[in-house]
Amino acid sequence: MEINGVIIEDTFAEAFPIWVSRILVTAATERLAKIAATEATGFGCSVIMCPAEAGIEKYVPPTETPDGRPGYIIQICHPKKSELEHQMLERIGQCILTAPTTAAFDAMGDEAEEQLKVGFKLKFFGDGYEKKDKLGDRTIYRIPIMSGEFITESKFGVKKGVAGGNFFILAENQTAALVAAEAAVDAISSVDGVITPFPGGIVASGSKVGASNPKYKFMTATTNHKMCPTLRDVVEDSEVPEDVNGIYEIVIDGISEEAVKEAMKVGILAATKVPGVKKITAGNYGGKLGKYQIKLHDLFE
């Protein structure tokens, strides 16, 4: 298959189940809301070493938020529900509650499979001076702080989502690959319910499970040597074509398989429009590790 003259390999992205939360962070200004959202999603690229996967999903205008202020929806994700709750408590408590003028609301809504009492637990920071209240149909806590009060919803919804949706952009040089990757991330930002958790949404150092070097067996993950252009003439199992010298990966987490598929589709379409892109492929482990197999060709049927 070719799209815009770019080869789409007949392969699949292997994705995994993950627990997902969606949190709406609001503040007095869009700038302050984005600062808090950015802080709360830091160190959230991959659970290979990060304590959670996290990212900013989208901006929400004041007309669509519970308190009539600008906000950002963030996602925090973890394979274990108990660890997800722990990460929500830490990230809201340390990165949002501490930020000027902020509030935190549930953004999962009716799609939630379970409710976690994150806000109820955060209210103990109020040392007994906090107040339970209602904001529309939401149960909230007003926690007194030096600058006024921090508002948090009592419960936050979570659900089983999908992590590790992905595709690789292979281009004639690094610049073309990077421009295509940025175009893909921009396109994906229009899809609700997904995040691209790596820096700027782009993976520069894709990895494989374990190590091929017997001396490095202690490693959980190592560089994806098959996809390193500088190793094309060094390793026997290189998968880098002769006319490719730049490769980036896009990884997508989302609230559903459907959302991740849509994000992959629009991202791939955007990437194939960039001159110099030669091929699109995806990462998988032969279907042995992930529950979901998202076939690239099926995205465009």
Q: What is the pLDDT of residues 51-82, one digit of tens each?
A: 999 999 999 999 999 999 999 999 999 999 99
Same-domain check for residues 24 and 144: yes
| Overall domain count for the chain | 2
Same-domain check for residues 30 and 148: yes
Same-domain check for residues 118 and 238: no
Helix (H) or strand (E) holding 50: none
Same-domain check for residues 65 and 118: yes
Same-domain check for residues 179 and 216: yes
Backbone angles phi, psi at 243, to 5 degrees: -95, 15
CATH of the domain at 239: 3.30.70.520
Domain residues for 291? 2-14+161-300
Domain final residue pick, 137, 159, 181 = 159
Same-domain check for residues 88 and 10: no
Same-domain check for residues 42 and 125: yes
Same-domain check for residues 104 and 205: no
Same-domain check for residues 123 and 202: no
pLDDT of residue 156: 98
For residue 25, what pLDDT band results from cuts at 50, 70 and 90? very high
Strands (E), 111-188: 114-116, 131-135, 138-145, 148-153, 156-171
pLDDT of residue 245: 98
Same-domain check for residues 106 and 138: yes
- Rounded Cα gap, residues 143 and 122, in angstroms: 9
Q: What is the pLDDT of residues 40-50, one digit of tens each?
A: 999 999 999 99
- Rounded Cα gap, residues 92 and 85, in angstroms: 10
Domain final residue pick, 105, 125, 159 = 159
Same-domain check for residues 10 and 107: no
Same-domain check for residues 155 and 23: yes
Domain final residue pick, 118, 138, 159 = 159
Q: What is the pLDDT of residues 159-202, one digit of tens each?
A: 999 999 999 999 999 999 999 999 999 999 999 999 999 999 99
